[in-house]
Amino acid sequence: MSERTPAEGIRAVGLSCTVNGVPAELDVAPNKRLLHILRDDLDLTGTKRSCEIGRCGACMVLVDGKPVNSCLTMAYQCDGRSVTTIEGIADADRLDPIQQAFLEEGGYQCGYCTPGMVISVKGLLSVTLDPTDEEIEEALSGNLCRCTGYGGILRSVKNVIAKYKEGY
Amino acid sequence: MGLNRSASGERWRVRPDGPAKVTGALAYLTDMKASGMLHGRVLRSPHPFARIIDIDTTKAAALPGVHAVLTYKDVPGLNAYGIAVQDQPVLCEDYVRYVGDAVATVAADTPELAERALSLIEVEYEVLPIVDDPETALEEGAPQLHPHGNVLHRAGYKAGEADSAFATCAHIIEETYTTPRQMHTYMETEGGLFVPEKDGRLTVYAPTQHGLMDRLQLSRILAKPQQEIRVVSSPIGGSFGGKDELNIQPYGALLALYTKRPVRIHNSRWESVRAGLKRHPMRIAMKTGVSEEGRLLAHQVRIVADTGPYATLGAEVLNFAVEHVIGPYRYANLDVDSVSVHTNNGMSGEFRGFGGNQAIFALEGQMDRLAERLGMDPWQFRRLNMRQQHDPGPFGHPIAQTNGAEQVWAALEESSLCAERDTSGDTATTPPWIKTGTGAAFVMHGAGLGFGIPDPAGGRLQLAADGKIEVLFGYEEFGQGLIATLELMMIEEFGLSADDFRIMIGDTDIVPDSGSSTASRATSMMWKSLQRMRDPFRQHILATAAKRLECEAKQLIMGSGGIRSKQQPDKLLLSYLELAAFSDEPVVVETNFIFPAPDTKRVGAHLLYTYAAVAVQVEVNTLTGRVRVIDQFHAVAAGPVMNPQGYLGQIEGGSSMALGYTLTEKAVMEQGQYMTKNLDTYLIPTIAESTGRFEVVPIEDLPEGDEHGPRGVGEIGSVGLAPAIAEAVYQAVGKRITKLPIDPKELQEIPSFMGKAVRNG
Ligand code: FES
Ligand code: FES
């Protein structure tokens, strides 16, 4: 079984996009996966590698504000787009309220799924600040967590929603 | 009282490793890079069983950009590994015995080149007939995997004469229970970075549950003294027992030493699936008889475990299962026999619960069936036969006595889930195809490795030159929250602030031998170590401070920021930094001891046990056959809660694994090949299955004079849920479950209106 699409034979082309607000110009094969571009070429290892078939959500990033599995996204699909990874979620001096909520509620254990989880919550809350339980389930059902049993994750999401309601 | 954030007050803390985890800043060992590094890969067998005739690496080695193609000939030391028995080849020489067996390993400039190199290695095999079922493996004439045959281990236990006692039983239940090959499914697959250092040493950055054991094993393989190997092994993206044994370490180490360059390996999910350990599939046949009044008179058990091709901890898991098919009950006569069998299926080994999950699913299934046969309430039936406080352990051996069994039994009895079990259920608003039911199970689970297995523990405290108190343990952080627990212990035992000390784990160059972070032992052993070190360390600190302050040590106390006056604790007299600067001899206390084991001759018997009672309410959709858990109650008697967030997380997370085990998880193998190669077909619970109510009630008190303190809770949450769900399903739809995961087909019913239509049509 092939581990990766061999890059040989496919000419590297210029990719220009922004990553966490910073313009990035890269010479990569157009079919190189965004996951590997982030981790290997840009040293942004907060985006995690796990299933590489779009099932676990460990590799989730925002492309133009929408959550996508970076393991399924090819370089050419990012051209001219804005990519936000977990490293770009917090402000310089302050965690995003979502990250703060995960800390307070203990919505993580090993932490390997956490960047992807935070990204998916970010994507959800950019659509609505007051999601229903069904919307939360739907938004996070592509993010697998093996450690927590999701209890702490759900409490974290509820926590941040409540804070937004209080006008955080 | 339920465990949650608000009830925990100040003891609910942000974990020290939390900020780096939520920001993605934490560098896992599989995130590491080094300049000039190569990419390592392993060539694994395509066949479940074959003889190797020839391995030709010429073409692969000639590929530009390939720096090493190694085979068994290149293993300088012992070409085998295994925590207990070293029988698994690092690189196979004569036979391959499963589809994860490694034949060659390569290092190349890029992952793509490494992949190409693998495809250029020519291995000639003579494919052999396989054994893919443990029972056929025991038959005469079955292909033999090893010179010693196909039996890894047998274990049994007898007390009284079960055979003849069945004649006196009023009721007998006979049933065979089957459990699946479950995958750990840690989100971070195996991997790491291997760095040959200038001084000839090797640094291994790769997850494991016991760095010093990896160092020992690597030293044998590499024929390199242990002191020349440094294993850095935390943080880890999940393990659950699955990364305790060596995985990619031998290959990374061999390649790095051969090429004299750093080598990175990071398994794809498929490689993790094919090579990695799984939970032992077991077939457990039980025959259990009771008297007219419901006393257990005879209990006969036969266990057959599929251990795969090599030993790892298969024997130990089987011993544990034997102990736990007896469990927390009193029997007049017992007869347990078991065998762990080699097959050409995937490797089985250590997994959270360690054989208890399979054993207790079967045992509790018997209890529910017997109660029904007797017309008794299943919980009253358990009570009638339950061990009493001063009873010996399952093997008739002495154990540390607690009242845990009684306490969790009572807590469950008082739970709302239990109280409402007859009145809750199908209401007018639920559609007719949704049936609800409630079930419960009882768990007694051993901690530590048990009698007869080396089980060292210990730790060290020292004052560093920069004024930090260093807390050193050889345990690993794989998510369970060990660092957070240790932090809270240091704050509570010494009155320190979190920034007065530095926790140091996961590096064999600095840590003492604390034993493995396994078997629910780390929290217990950290607590015990601190109990042993607290007074000597405090005395040492205070005596040094007294010299400097020219007063008596008894006027001083340790506190936040430094040494304080006992009379006026508000007053800081000397900071730890000043103390460190003054002290001309090192302030160090170390302790080494052995995890408490019972006074017995029975290998694997435990001294310490945790108890749990689990109740669940389920909804069965009889159209789809799907089971949904809507309410869970867990009472856990494990002594004082050391870290509320960690405790709750262990029970919730353990239970989630058990939910998958019960409903969806099975690593399917056909003819020795994995059919479930990734997470699209191997299904672990998602958030959508995990939104039911969940309550954890910790029972903290221990008998007066108990010297063992907190018991571990790392495994117990993963054990009791399966039998509780099975009983709840029975209560809902009247169908007995004997096989996990539950097959929805068995629960589907033709709706009555359709049945009529069919009949009338
Ligand atoms: S790694 Fe992308 S979804 Fe799993
Ligand atoms: S915290 Fe480990 S996978 Fe979610």
Tens of pLDDT, residues B478-498: 999 999 999 999 999 999 999
The pLDDT, as a whole number, for residue B426 is: 58
Average pLDDT, stretch B8-13? 96
**CA gap A44, A37 in Å, rounded:** 9
CATH topology of domain B395-447+606-761: Aldehyde Oxidoreductase; domain 4 (3.30.365)
CATH topology of domain A97-165: DNA polymerase; domain 1 (1.10.150)
How sure is the predictor about B1, in pLDDT bands with cuts at 50, 70 and 90? confident
The pLDDT, as a whole number, for residue B754 is: 64
Residue bearing tokens 């009284």:
B160
Percent of all residues in chain B with a pLDDT value above 90, rounded to a whole number:
91
**CA gap B323, B451 in Å, rounded:** 12
Q: What is the mean pLDDT of chain B?
A: 95
Beta carbon of A102 within 6 Å of any ligand 2 atom: no
CB neighbourhood size of A76 (10 A): 13
The pLDDT, as a whole number, for residue A3 is: 45
How sure is the predictor about A6, in pLDDT bands with cuts at 50, 70 and 90? very low
For A108-125, write each residue's pLDDT tens digit.
999 999 999 999 999 999
Nearest CB to A3: which of B115, B481, B688? B115
Residues of A in contact with B27 (CB under 8 A): 45
CATH topology of domain B29-128+188-275: Aldehyde Oxidoreductase; domain 3 (3.90.1170)
Task: State the smallest CA–CA distance between residue B481 and chain A in angstroms.
Answer: 7
For B718-755, write each residue's pLDDT tens digit.
999 999 999 999 999 999 999 999 999 999 997 766 65
> Which residues are A82's β-sheet partners?
A18
| Nearest chain A residue to B19, by CA | A103
Nearest CB to A55: which of B31, B679, B694? B679
The pLDDT, as a whole number, for residue A163 is: 94
Task: State the smallest CA–CA distance between residue A144 and chain B in angstroms.
Answer: 6
How sure is the predictor about A7, in pLDDT bands with cuts at 50, 70 and 90? very low
Percent of all residues in chain B with a pLDDT value above 70, rounded to a whole number:
98
The pLDDT, as a whole number, for residue A5 is: 46
Q: Is the pLDDT of residue B142 over 80?
A: yes
The pLDDT, as a whole number, for residue B518 is: 83
Contact A137 B270 (CB under 8 A): no
Domain ranges of chain A: 3-86, 97-165
For B533-572, write each residue's pLDDT tens digit.
999 999 999 999 999 999 999 999 999 999 999 999 999 9
Q: Is the pLDDT of residue A75 over 60?
A: yes
Contact A146 B481 (CB under 8 A): no
Ligand 1 centroid to Cα of residue A146, in Å, is 14
Q: A10, A55, A112: which to substitute to probe chain B, counting the most B Cβ within 10 Å?
A: A112
| Model ipTM value | 0.96
**CA gap B590, B542 in Å, rounded:** 17
Beta carbon of A10 within 6 Å of any ligand 2 atom: no
> Which residues are B151's β-sheet partners?
B341
**CA gap B632, B347 in Å, rounded:** 32
Q: Is the pLDDT of residue B197 over 50?
A: yes
Cβ burial, residue B620 (10 Å; 0-12/13-18/19+): buried
Q: Give the DSSP per-residue string, A54-112.
A: SSS-TTEEEETTEEEETTT-BGGGGTT-EEE-GGGTS-SSS--HHHHHHHHHT--SS-S
Nearest CB to B479: which of A8, A43, A147? A147
For B646-702, write each residue's pLDDT tens digit.
999 999 999 999 999 999 999 999 999 999 999 999 999 999 999 999 999 999 999
**CA gap B49, B128 in Å, rounded:** 6
The pLDDT, as a whole number, for residue A106 is: 97
Amino acid at B693: R
CATH topology of domain B456-594: Aldehyde Oxidoreductase; domain 4 (3.30.365)
Question: What are the CA-CA distances from residue A62 to residues A78, A89, B68, B524 (Å)?
Answer: 11, 10, 39, 42
User: Which helix or strand (DSSP H or E) is residue B611 part of?
Assistant: strand B608-621
CATH 3.90.1170.50 in chain B is located at 29-128+188-275
Q: Give the residues surrounding ligand 1 with Cβ less than 6 Å away.
A: A 49-52, 54-59, 69, 71
Contact A112 B677 (CB under 8 A): no
Residue bearing tokens 């011993």:
B319
For B163-195, write each residue's pLDDT tens digit.
999 999 999 999 999 999 999 999 999 999 999
For B603-649, write each residue's pLDDT tens digit.
999 999 999 999 999 999 999 999 999 999 999 999 999 999 999 99
Ligand 2 centroid to Cα of residue B21, in Å, is 10
**CA gap B651, B669 in Å, rounded:** 30
For B391-444, write each residue's pLDDT tens digit.
999 999 999 999 999 999 999 999 989 888 766 555 667 899 999 999 999 999
Q: Could you give the residue ranges of the DSSP H alpha helices within B55-153? A: 58-62, 111-120, 134-137
Q: B10, B13, B22: which to substitute to probe chain A, counting the most A Cβ within 10 Å?
A: B22
Contact B186 A146 (CB under 8 A): yes
The pLDDT, as a whole number, for residue A13 is: 76
Average pLDDT, stretch B240-265? 98
Nearest to B69 by CA among B122, B40, B105, B113: B105
Residues of A in contact with B652 (CB under 8 A): 148-152
> Which residues are B54's β-sheet partners?
B124
Task: State the smallest CA–CA distance between residue A66 and chain B in angstroms.
Answer: 19
CATH topology of domain A3-86: Ubiquitin-like (UB roll) (3.10.20)
**CA gap B650, B634 in Å, rounded:** 12
Nearest to B213 by CA among B453, B472, B504: B453
The pLDDT, as a whole number, for residue B420 is: 80
Q: At CB < 8 A and 24+ separation, what contacts does B140-149 make?
A: B143/B49, B145/B49, B145/B97, B145/B309, B145/B342, B145/B343, B145/B344, B146/B87, B146/B342, B149/B342
Contact between residue A131 and residue A165 where contact means Cβ atoms under 8 Å apart: no
Q: Which CATH number fits domain B130-180+279-385: 3.40.1390.10, 1.10.1740.10, 1.10.287.110, 3.30.365.10?
A: 3.30.365.10
Nearest CB to A144: which of B15, B237, B686? B686
User: Which pTM value belongs to this model?
Assistant: 0.96
CATH 3.30.365.10 in chain B is located at 130-180+279-385, 395-447+606-761, 456-594
Query: How is residue B401 written in tokens?
Result: 């006595």
Q: Is the pLDDT of residue B21 over 50?
A: yes
Q: A52, A109, A119, A159: which to substitute to probe chain B, counting the most B Cβ within 10 Å?
A: A109
Ligand 1 atom nearest residue A57's Cα: 3
* Eight-state DSSP code of residue B468: P
